[in-house]
Structure formats: C-alpha cells, structure tokens
Structure 1
Amino acid sequence: MKITRLFFGIILFLGITAIAQDKAFTLEEIFKGTFKTEGFKSLHSLKNGKQYSVLEKDKISGATHIEVYDYTTGEKVKTLVSSSSIEGLDAFQGYSFSKDETRIILSSEIEPIFRRSKKGIYHIYDVPSNGVFRISDQKIQEPVLSPDGNKVAYILNNNIYMLNFVTGQEVQLTDDGKKNEIINGITDWVYEEEFAFVRAFEWSADSKKIAFIRFDEREVPEFSMDVYGTGLYQKQEVFKYPKAGEKNAKVSLFIANIEAMALDEVKLANYKDFYIPRIKWTTNPDVLSVQVLNRRQNNLDLLFVDAKTKTPKVVLNEKDEAYIDVTDNLTFLEDNSFIWTSEKDGFNHIYHYAETGELINQVTKGNWEVTQYYGYNPKNKKIFYQSVENGNINRDIYAITLDGKDKKRLSSKEGNNDAEFSADFSVYINYFSNATTPYEYTLNDGSTGKVIRELKNNSALVEKLKLFDMRPKEFSTIQVNGEILNMYMIKPKDFDTKKKYPLLMFQYSGPGSQMVKNTWNNRRDYWHMMLAQQGYIVACVDGKGTGLKGAKFKKATQNDLGNLEVQDQIAAAKQLGALEYIDASRIGIWGWSYGGFMSSNCLFKGADTFTMAIAVAPVTSWRFYDTIYTERYLMTPQENAKGYDDNSPINYVNGLEGKYLLIHGSADDNVHVQNTMRLIEALVQANKEFDWAIYPDKNHGIYGGNTQLHLYNKMTNFIKNNL
C-alpha cells in the first residue's frame, strides 16, 4: 500500500483552530445557511473598463437596484436603475446590457423549467431617457438585445419574435412552434442538459440577421412524470426525452434576414443523425460559425456559413477515438482568425487558427489542463486563462501572449483562483478560496496580478467558525491499480492511530469530474465534518475516468462505464481498511447521481469490502439515461450492449449483503425515478432487505423547504445505525 501526502491544510487552518471551541455542527445550522459565504450577485464589467455593476437588494423594502462601483476606489458611482422607480415592478432578479450599454433587460417573476431553462416577465430600461416598458404581457424566454441596442429577440411558445424599438414593429419570425413537436431558437431537454445551453439563436454583429436552430422532436419518445401537488388529482408532466439508442430531435439551421424579412434554411445535407451544439457569428457579420458533431461524438466539424449564399464549408475538423468535449471557448479576433481549445495533444490547451482553419500556433503546452478561457486583449495580444499547472487540485490564473510567449502566473495563493476581468482586461476580481480559507475577493492588476485592494473577505464567517470544531481536509495521494489517485481524508478530533474508526467514502467518479479539490466548503463538506465530529473518518478518492489529469486518464473508462471506477473505489477501500486506525469491517460509501450509480455497484460487487451504501438519485441502468451523455461514453446500446449491462447495478442485486439506502425525487426529469423503481423491483424479486425513500415532486437536486434537511437527517441516522 502506498499513500503519499501532497499537503495538509494545517498551517493555514491553525489561524482558525488556535482558539477554536468544541462546538459541533448541526444539520439545522448547515441547511439554514448559517455558514453561507458572501459574494457578488450578477457582476458585470462596464465597457469603460473602469467600473462594474452588481445587483443589490434592499433588506427592508425588498427593492432591487443595479449599482455601479469604481474598480479602483470601490466607491459607489451611481444607482443605474431601481425597481422602486418602476411602476408595477417590486423587484427584478437579473439584468443584461445591450452592447453599447444604453439599454438593459430586467428579469422578474422567473419560473424555472428545467435545470437551466426558465421563463419570466422582462422589461427594457432605456438608460439615457430613464424610460421603461414591458416586452410582453406573457412570460417569455431568453430575450436578447441586438448589438445596436435597437431590437430585442425572444422566444414565446417555441417561436422566435423580434421587437424593433425604433419602428415599434413586432415580428413573429417563426410560426410552427408547438410543445413536444417543434422548437425554434431554444434547445430541447437533452441539449439543455448535456450541451449546457438554452438559447439557440444569435444576433449577427450588424444587428441585421438572426441565426437559429430548429428542433423537430415529433419522433422523439415521450417521458411522463406525475406531479402530485396539493390538488385532489395529480397532474402529468409529459416531455420529449431521448433515451440511449432512441431517436433524437432532427435539428436544422436557419438564418433570418431582418431587413429583407426573409427566412432561409442552411442546408447541411452531408450530415446524417448529427448535433449542432454551438452556433456563433464571426466578426464578419456575413459569416456564421457552426459546430456539427456526429452522434458518436468523436468527430466535430467547425463550419463557416456564408449568410448571403447559405453555403457552408468545413474550416476545422477534430477527431478523437473516444469523444470530443464541446466548449464555449471559440473566440474570433478582428481578422477573423480564432482561438480554440482542444485535447488533441493529450491535454486541454489553447490554439490559434487562421480564418482559413490553418493552425498558426499552439498557445499553451504542457502535461496539465487549461480549465477556463477568460478572453483575449487585442491591445497587448494577451490571452487570459485558468489552469491546473500548480497541481491538479488547485486553480491559477495566467496570462500569455498570442504567440505563446511571456507566460505569467497572475494569482499567487495556493488553492482555487478564479477571475472576473474588466472589459479592457486592465484589472480583474480574483475569487480565491482553499480548503481552509473561505472566499476572498480582491481587485488585481491585469498585467502583474498585484493586489490593488481587498473587496470582501468573509471575515465574519471566519470568526463564527472559530467557535466550531472544524475538521480539515487532509489532501494526499494513494496508489491504486497502477495509478496515483488524488484523495482527501477528514478525521475526528483527538485522532489516535491506536484506535479503530469506521470509514465513510464519498465519490462521484463521472467522466471528467473532480471531487478532490482545494477549495472552500459546501454544505456536503460541513456534513462530512459533522460526521467526523461524531467519530467517523470520511475519505474521497478520484479514480480513473475523473478529470484534469489528461485525456488518457479521463477517457480510460470509455465504453465501459462503472468498471474501472468501481475497481478503484473497492481497491482504495481495501487499502484504507488495512491501515491500523481503520475498522475494515465498517466501511461505507455514498454518492449522488453518477455517485449513486457507483455506490450501488460498490456495495453489490464489493460485498467483502463495503458494509453499507447510500445511493441518491442513481442511474441503475444506462439504458434509462439520455442519448447525448450516455452514447458519448458508451456508444448506443445497439452497438455496445455489454457496456450497458455488465456494470448496471440493476443486474447485480444478488450481490447485496450489506445495508443499503436508496433515495430519489419523484419529479426527477434528469435521472428518472424509473431507475429507482426498477432497482426496487429487482431487489424485491431477489428477496433483498434495503431501505428507501421517495421525495414527492422533487427534481434531481431534491431540495425545497426542509427537504435537504430531512434528506441529510435520514442519511445521518442510517449511517449511525449501520456503520
């Protein structure tokens, strides 16, 4: 067995614990927000590069305001707009500017639909005149101002509308939209969930054209959920959900010419059964970029479409033996050359291509991953990005010239550094935290990284936590099945190597994920600390298939999800169980979603290792999950039945010997409760004892009111009684 210490967060942690008391965490405190950190809401850097705006709320009246602050001094410059000055608008929940910042869209009465989609009431506020008007009396989706600020496009009932402020003309650009049949300009369920975007239309730079994707989902199978509510009869939510191997929506691409009032389809005749995961206008208002991905998701073409002739041409092609990740990093420069990120050398890096698609140069290189692309400053030709160069559990901010020279690390503290740059990249707000330091916000110089001033530091939370028995994460590595894996461990107070402690392992393990990272606590972390306070050791190991260690490591699980990952967790548990202070007869594991899939498999396949498992909202057979996610890693069931069935928990219930708790929300539109119901039936028919809970009308996050408090209380009691 080999466990190597990376570092312990002890030195920084001493600042909190030196005068700490022994107060224990309670679930009530954790889930009522006692340990919530402060931050900025809806921060927007104004185009002058000297000021930024944030959304603030008056605690007494409830009115909301867009306040403008000076970057350098921190002084408030002005209140840009207040809901109290707008008749009929008590408060707004968000805002977005036109490119010239003369008009602002204000959102209110927001109603969530799925994970990212929503609809609401939207107002347009005219900054020069202080005028305001409501876009529509109905709740609409995804309103976006044109670059010139004179028009707004939005979605209503699956159709695209355009309102011209100058002429007062409202135009309905499409008329075939219909629920569960045709969608124009916004994505269907599976695109929203797996390609992570909702708005599927884009304004051209000259404000004269709108490109959009049309989804024909008439042949996509329907899924239905009962929503119980409070009425005498339940309602049924029916939506299109393509499960692995089933038909997807047919996508097509259109360009609407606003001046000519013409709508034309862009023919993509050479592609069959494909995805359009991104569209974006180039700096040339007559050239649209389109990304086309095959269903297997291992071949991506970047197309340039001539908006006049509607003719597409392939500019760049990416191929991968496993799959290609879709990102939002495509950036067009003034000469229409473009910045692109790719894993083609084995690690995610930044590349610069000519307008023709010819590679100019690879900007970043090394055995590490670029994790975020922040932007490009044309004045000094610098690219700003985040990476894991300083250890893959950390994040740092870097600047580098377009030719790949003069790389500079701008952040200085070890942990998780993120950035919000000003519009001219002269300064940025550094969001820093690590496992022992709650979020600190500083204004930093964009050239040197030097701190100009502190903005917020969550010092009040630090003071509050001095009263508690904080349990630090101890970061290390563990060698398992030929790989060195990242790990953390949380130990009880007065830890004694001569005592035997029960071990609870937590993991997620999904492709490209990372649970072992040097960042501040979330609610789950506080719960783990609470368990450590009660005598448990909590450990987390990121096994094969997880992210930020290169494409080979991430894609090792391809076409065989749940095999190597489960082997790694079982092997890690065996190694940890061999430590003198771990009671090998009391090892449990838990996880949510992919982690629930994993914890179920670990208990069913590792009966000699795990005595207990909790699975929350688990996939129990990949045949039940959606096309885009599942086929990306497993191909279709028709092509790879073995990959689907050999590692699905539903097929291994006979292996259950320990204690098992299964939890799901009945209105989970993502991982359907069907997964749990089918697993329950299999367990019953195998005559296996287990515990289970269904949370009515709760989605994949299982939250709302006291729901999470109840959920974690249930899991806590289960652990106490069975581990």
Structure 2
Amino acid sequence: MKRFISFFLIISSFSTALGQKELTLEQAVQQQYTEFRPKTLTGFSWLPGKTEYSYVSNDSLVIVNVTNSKMNRALTLSDINDALKANNFQPLKRIPWGWVDGKHIRFKADKYFVLFNTEDKAIPSKFLIADNSQNHEFSPDGQWMSFTLGQNIFLMSTQGESVALTNDSLDGLVNGQSVHRNEFGINKGTFWSPTGRYLAYYHMDESMVSQYPLVDISKRVGELVSIRYPMAGMRSHEVTVRVYDTQTRTTVELKTGEPREQYLTNLAWSPDESSIFLAILNREQNHMKMNCYSVSNGDFVKTLFEERNDKYVEPLNSPQFISNDTFVWQSRADGWNHIYLYSTDGKLIKQLTKGEWEVTSIDAIDASNGIIYYAATTESPLERHLYSINIKNGATLHLTSGSGTHRSVVSPDFKYFVDFYTSIDIPNRVGLFTTKGKLVKQLVDAPNPYNGYNVSLPRLITLTAKDGTTLYGRMIKPTNFDSTQKYPAVIYVYGGPHSQLVINSWMGGARLWECYMANMGYILFTLDNRGTSNRGAEFEQVIHRQLGTVELNDQLVGVEYLKSLSYVDSARLGVHGWSFGGFMTLTMMLRASEQFRVGVAGGPVTDWKFYEVMYGERYMDTPDENPDGYSNADLKNYVANLKGKVLIIHDDMDRTVVPQNSLTLIHEFIKSGVQVDFFMYPQHDHNVMGKDRVHLIDKIIRYFDDNL
C-alpha cells in the first residue's frame, strides 16, 4: 500500500502545482458543514402569521416581505446588543433568529431566555435559567417555561415564580424527560396544550431496570457511573403521562392501564384541550392502539383504532388535527407510509395517499382550505419532492421539479413555499414558489464549494439483489483516477433500520473525509441493503428475527460488483462502519471472511442480547422467543473464521452500545487464540465528536494504509 501512496503523492503534487489545493484532514473531518457548506439562506424561517421570511446575513437578520419589497428590513446584532446593554445583559456574538410570533424572537442571554421585540427593540419578558436545568420549553401563550432539574420538573413564570410539579427523590424516577430511549419518534418529555393552560409530561419509573456500570476516569480515582439499561428480554421501565393545570395547580395521571411495560408515544392534544391522544404499543411491538383520554380526570375514553402486524408496528408521528373532530395519521398499514384521515370517534374517513412509495413528512396543513402539503419518495427512493393534496377530492399537485432532494418550507398563509433543492450534481438552489408550483424568484444558486480544491465527488450506482430487489449505492474515486491501475476498495457501511446513506443530494450522503480518503488512492463504496429506510415495510422488515443475514447477502452483491471492475484489486477489500455499521463490519469480516482483508468496527453491537429492549426486541423479539436468531447474529460464534485484520473501536462511556459488546467479543478472540486490535476512546459516548474526531478518522485511515 505504501508504494501506492507514494504514487498518489507524486500525482497530487502535480495537481497542487496546477492550482488545486489539497484538503487537510482537519478540513475533511470538521469543515464539511461550515467552510464547505454550499451557499444557502442561513437560519431561514417564515415569520409566524406573516408573508415574510428571514435569514441571517453576516451580523444581520434580513427580513423579506414577499409581496412588497419596500417593506424589507434588517435587524442588526447592534440593535439587539444595544437593548441588552440597556438591560444589563452581556452582548451576543451572533445574531439570533428564533421567531416566537411575527415580531418577537427568543434567545439566551446570560442566565436568561429573553423575549425581544424586533419592532420597538424592547425586552418585554425574560425567564431565569436555573443552574443545571435542562429541557426548557415555553408555553404557547408565553407565560410559562417548563424545565427539568435532576429527576424533577418545574415551571417558571414571566414574573419569576417557580413551581415544582414533582418532588421525587427515589433513584430511578424521572419526570419531564424523553422516555423509551428515544424510540417511536419520541424526542422530548413535555407537551404544552394549544393555549398553554396545561402541560402534559412523561413520568418514568426505571427503578426496576438493571444498572450498567460505566467508569468516569476524569476523577482523581475513577468513579462509578451507573446507567439504567434494559437489555433485550429483561425488565423494562414503566411510563405514565401526567397533566398539570396551571390555573387550578392540580395534576392528574392518565389511566393508561396494564400491563405497565408498554410504550406510550405520539402524544397529541385535541384542539379544544379536552382530550389527549396516545398511541399505546405493547411490549411485543406488534399491536398498537390509538387511545383517547380525558384531560379533566385522566380517564380512558375509548380506543379509536388499532394496528397489528406479525412482525412489528412502529408508530413514529403524532396525530395532526384538521379540526376538533378530524385528524390525519401516518401509517404503514398497507405496507407503505401514507396519510390517513380519521374522525375522533375512530372512523377511518379515507386513505389520502396511496402507492408504492413513502410519505416522508407532512410539511404543512391548510385546514381552512383542506390542503395537506407533504414530502414523498414518489419519483424515486433516492429523491424527495413536495406535493399537495386536496382532502375532499384527492386532487394532487407535484410542486417541485428537478431530480434530487427538495426540502420545502411552506409559508404561514399557505400561498408560498421556499424550496431548498440539491442533487448529486447541484450543491444548493433556493427558490421562492407559489403553492401552485410557479417560480416567483430564484434566491440562491450555490457554486461548487470545493472550487479550488482537489476533491473527488461521488456518483450513484444501481444494483440488483439476488431476489431481484433494486439496491442503490455510491462510489467515490480518486481525482487522479486511472482505469488502468488497480485500487483497493473500502466499503463504508451502516445497513440498519432508520438509515439511508445513499441519496440523490449533494455529496450523495457521503462524508467529506470519504472523499479525502479516496484521494489517498482508494475506491470508497457504500450500499443501502434491505433493512434500511424509505423503501416500504417489506424492504425493511425482511431482517426481522435475523439481523445480519439479509444485510450481509445484499452487501455481498456490492462486493461482487466491486470485484467485476477492472480497476478494483479484489484481493484488497476493506470495510468500516459504526454502531449497526460496526455490527455489519464484523459480520462481513467474520461471516464472509474470504472476501475482506481489513475491517474497522466502531461501537459495534456484537451480541443482540446486550442491546436495549425497544430497538432490540422490535427487530429480534426476545432471546427466549428467538434463540436461533440471536445465536446466528452472535459474532462470538464466528471468531475462528477471521482471516484478515480487524480493529475494534469503542467509547468507554457508551450509553447506547455498552462496552460489554466489544469486550466479550475480544475475550472470545483471546480464548480462541485469534489476534485482533482494539482501541478505546475515553470520555466519549457512542461515537467520537469534537476535535477528537480528527484523531478517530486519522486512526481509521492509517489502519487501512498499514494493512490493506
């Protein structure tokens, strides 16, 4: 390999002499989304309730009136800092842009969240931030801020009144925080009602969950840090939902019933605040009920509808209300994620979207005119486009054009949208359109951010799995690529659910360090196997109860493709991935050992019985229910197969894939007399971020340089 690197250096020196600069490793790892981010409208946002949008330009927040350019204006950092100084706050270094309504923004200044009036430059209210507090959320009426401190939840009023909603001290009780390990679309633990009168919040009892020991080495003597970690087949936590009334200062708990080990997700308020809707999923994750509960007393009112699946049901999005009596719901009931219209009595009024493609988001709902704006994969699984559908008659408009990925933001009055468009060939185009799809104005057409740099860009590839399924891949070649040469190839893999590494967007989903590595004389290749996202239930669920098997078969289709290329050295194939990608890296090295010379596995799951309940049991059931599946996926059973070189990397504070995964596998390698390499990153949690990430990527590349 070193001889190949020398050849690369000669060619790159010639390239540099022609004026093309080489990326540094630091640039490749840390600057993709800063220095090399394509030109765009930074901080773009529509002003609530107005036909105006804003974006950040240098030290100003530029506000554009779509219908009358004479009303365009700018809020400067000096404007804000003058007001802060007058109120004895320290100045800000960057302009904020978090709109609360059409004239106020909210931002953090010193130990306060400040509400700033952009018209009269005044500060009408502020909230004191308690030391060590987290999970701050503001009521829609602006009168309250909820937050957590330790295991309890509090409210702070604009007058400075602090209200403790809970006072738990027993270890294992948690309030107002995300639950169920952020599965099922959960990313927070507090939910304000539409007017701000009520606050619903999660209460979690995890006192019965096993504690996993981590060690904090930053102390003079390392200290034990125990985390509650429910492994597959073991006791899980119990969750309830409580509702606090800011007027009566009382709390009720929703009567979600038995069994206590169930998942409560997709919480939604009815527009009149009389009811809360919850998706209740059984622990087996194959039966979901959409339940309605009374806010006044917590009583169960009724089950609106149910969904069952012989593999799993995974609700990810809350109901979105059209009126107090109707709402839309996203479901894979027909095998593809689509939009369904329900009445609050549980009647399915109609399925609004249909076809062998997926709705990826609902972007806006114009309730007055009965129009839903949504993004979908209708054109291709690799693309995203914006559509509108008339709820009454089903008339659908395709609002975006151009192959690639469109991220569209609809205006509050539903007359316009701003489209952020990118493709494998287009860094970024931003345009203002009417909601009939007519271009009003092109706002940005970004040049290639790598102009002047020696950067090789990806190209997209289409392959076919053994069963005829279409698979999509991505390849990066060196900029000095010579088809008469033989190159080693490295597969960058993830391969698990909730992922899509290959997409028709700028860079094709690739990290810049992959391009950097390619320029060192490698072919970089990525393939999305079955089991990954946005391809429908059948494509994803084929992995059920057999993680690693179908995924491996599809990745080997990619290997066959690489070996068919005259410029790939089939004797020098490597693979790297992290988390599920680490599991796949080791699966490929151990279950297809004859194919690969080198592997680097980061944060790998090595035995699914060591992984958490929610994710693990969804895809594998429990170890008792699926012993063969767990055994087949247990990488300790394949250590004797290893033929190449493997580096296993883990973080010592990994709370997602606990270090027991790597350590037990390494122990098995030792018992079998098989040599492997191991490196641990201290004080990192499930991946290496910040400045240490440069060290990580350097280590990965060096390992391939030395061994491939």
TM above 0.5, yes or no, is yes
Corresponding residue for residue 627 of structure 2: 641
Offset from partner CA, 1:176-229 (integer Å, 9 cap, x none): 255x421122124x433x245343222222432222221011111112322223
Amino acid at match of 1:375: A
Offset from partner CA, 1:136-156 (integer Å, 9 cap, x none): 442322233222222332222
Distance (Å, rounded) in 1 between the aligned partners of 2:58 and 2:637: 52
- SS of structure 1 residue aligned to 2:428: strand
Corresponding residue for residue 164 of structure 2: 172
4+ runs of 1 displaced by more than 6 Å?
92-95
Corresponding residue for residue 686 of structure 1: 672
| 8 Å CA contact 2:384, 2:404 repeated in 1 | yes
CA RMSD of aligned residues (A): 2.8
- SS of structure 1 residue aligned to 2:640: helix
Shift of 1:572: 3.0
Seen in structure 2, the aligned counterparts of structure 1 residues 623 and 383 have a Cα distance that, compared at 3 Å, is same
Structure 2 unaligned spans of 5+: 1-14
| 8 Å CA contact 1:481, 1:571 repeated in 2 | no
| 8 Å CA contact 2:263, 2:281 repeated in 1 | yes
Seen in structure 2, the aligned counterparts of structure 1 residues 101 and 75 have a Cα distance that, compared at 3 Å, is closer
Q: 5 Å matches for 1:45-444?
A: 45-54=46-55, 58=59, 68-71=63-66, 73=69, 75-78=72-75, 82-83=80-81, 85-86=83-84, 87-91=88-92, 98=100, 105-107=106-108, 121-125=111-115, 127=117, 130-165=123-158, 169-176=161-168, 180-188=171-179, 190-192=180-182, 194-229=183-218, 231-312=219-300, 313-403=302-392, 405-444=394-433
Seen in structure 2, the aligned counterparts of structure 1 residues 501 and 165 have a Cα distance that, compared at 3 Å, is closer
Distance (Å, rounded) in 2 between the aligned partners of 1:250 and 1:66: 45
Shift of 1:551: 0.8
Corresponding residue for residue 591 of structure 2: 605
| 8 Å CA contact 1:589, 1:614 repeated in 2 | yes
Seen in structure 2, the aligned counterparts of structure 1 residues 532 and 410 have a Cα distance that, compared at 3 Å, is same
Distance (Å, rounded) in 2 between the aligned partners of 1:554 and 1:657: 31
| 8 Å CA contact 1:329, 1:373 repeated in 2 | no
Distance (Å, rounded) in 2 between the aligned partners of 1:357 and 1:605: 48
Distance (Å, rounded) in 1 between the aligned partners of 2:152 and 2:99: 23
Q: 5 Å matches for 1:641-680?
A: 641-680=627-666
Shift of 1:425: 2.2
Seen in structure 2, the aligned counterparts of structure 1 residues 496 and 468 have a Cα distance that, compared at 3 Å, is closer
Offset from partner CA, 1:318-362 (integer Å, 9 cap, x none): 212222223235211123300111111111111111121211111
Distance (Å, rounded) in 2 between the aligned partners of 1:317 and 1:524: 39
| 8 Å CA contact 1:337, 1:353 repeated in 2 | yes
Seen in structure 2, the aligned counterparts of structure 1 residues 131 and 335 have a Cα distance that, compared at 3 Å, is closer
Number of matched pairs: 679
Amino acid at match of 1:379: S
| 8 Å CA contact 1:21, 1:469 repeated in 2 | no
Offset from partner CA, 1:394-453 (integer Å, 9 cap, x none): 111111111362211111121111112222222222122122222332222223252423
- SS of structure 1 residue aligned to 2:427: strand
Q: Match for 1:625 among 599, 611, 632? A: 611
Distance (Å, rounded) in 2 between the aligned partners of 1:84 and 1:676: 54
| 8 Å CA contact 2:600, 2:646 repeated in 1 | yes
Seen in structure 2, the aligned counterparts of structure 1 residues 684 and 38 have a Cα distance that, compared at 3 Å, is farther
| 8 Å CA contact 2:233, 2:622 repeated in 1 | yes
Shift of 1:492: 3.6
Moved more, 393-402 or 142-151: 142-151
Asked whether 1:585 is paired with 2:563, we answer no
Shift of 1:592: 1.2
Distance (Å, rounded) in 1 between the aligned partners of 2:150 and 2:455: 53
Corresponding residue for residue 566 of structure 1: 552
Corresponding residue for residue 708 of structure 1: 693
- SS of structure 1 residue aligned to 2:375: strand
Moved more, 367-376 or 479-488: 479-488
- SS of structure 2 residue aligned to 1:176: coil
Aligned-pair identity (%):
27
| 8 Å CA contact 1:92, 1:106 repeated in 2 | no
- SS of structure 1 residue aligned to 2:593: coil
TM-score by length of 1: 0.87
| 8 Å CA contact 2:233, 2:623 repeated in 1 | yes
Distance (Å, rounded) in 2 between the aligned partners of 1:520 and 1:539: 16
Distance (Å, rounded) in 2 between the aligned partners of 1:509 and 1:486: 12
Seen in structure 2, the aligned counterparts of structure 1 residues 237 and 421 have a Cα distance that, compared at 3 Å, is farther
Amino acid at match of 1:299: H
Amino acid at match of 2:136: P
Asked whether 1:542 is paired with 2:528, we answer yes
TM-score by length of 2: 0.89
Distance (Å, rounded) in 1 between the aligned partners of 2:143 and 2:104: 9
Seen in structure 2, the aligned counterparts of structure 1 residues 140 and 473 have a Cα distance that, compared at 3 Å, is same
- SS of structure 1 residue aligned to 2:533: coil
Seen in structure 2, the aligned counterparts of structure 1 residues 451 and 583 have a Cα distance that, compared at 3 Å, is farther
Distance (Å, rounded) in 2 between the aligned partners of 1:475 and 1:404: 39
| 8 Å CA contact 2:648, 2:679 repeated in 1 | yes
Amino acid at match of 1:31: V
Distance (Å, rounded) in 2 between the aligned partners of 1:439 and 1:713: 29
Distance (Å, rounded) in 2 between the aligned partners of 1:255 and 1:221: 29
Corresponding residue for residue 8 of structure 2: none
| 8 Å CA contact 2:126, 2:158 repeated in 1 | no
Structure 1 unaligned spans of 5+: 1-16, 59-64, 110-120
Seen in structure 2, the aligned counterparts of structure 1 residues 677 and 708 have a Cα distance that, compared at 3 Å, is same
Distance (Å, rounded) in 2 between the aligned partners of 1:625 and 1:42: 37
Seen in structure 2, the aligned counterparts of structure 1 residues 534 and 580 have a Cα distance that, compared at 3 Å, is same
Amino acid at match of 2:49: N
| 8 Å CA contact 1:364, 1:404 repeated in 2 | no
Seen in structure 2, the aligned counterparts of structure 1 residues 245 and 651 have a Cα distance that, compared at 3 Å, is same
Distance (Å, rounded) in 2 between the aligned partners of 1:101 and 1:240: 43
- SS of structure 2 residue aligned to 1:437: coil
| 8 Å CA contact 2:153, 2:175 repeated in 1 | yes
Shift of 1:274: 0.3
Distance (Å, rounded) in 1 between the aligned partners of 2:550 and 2:324: 46
- SS of structure 1 residue aligned to 2:584: helix
- SS of structure 2 residue aligned to 1:521: helix
Distance (Å, rounded) in 1 between the aligned partners of 2:626 and 2:316: 27
Moved more, 66-75 or 428-437: 66-75
Corresponding residue for residue 12 of structure 1: none
| 8 Å CA contact 2:268, 2:318 repeated in 1 | no
| 8 Å CA contact 1:338, 1:353 repeated in 2 | yes
Offset from partner CA, 1:9-55 (integer Å, 9 cap, x none): xxxxxxxx9xx966544423312414234445554422223123456
Amino acid at match of 1:283: P
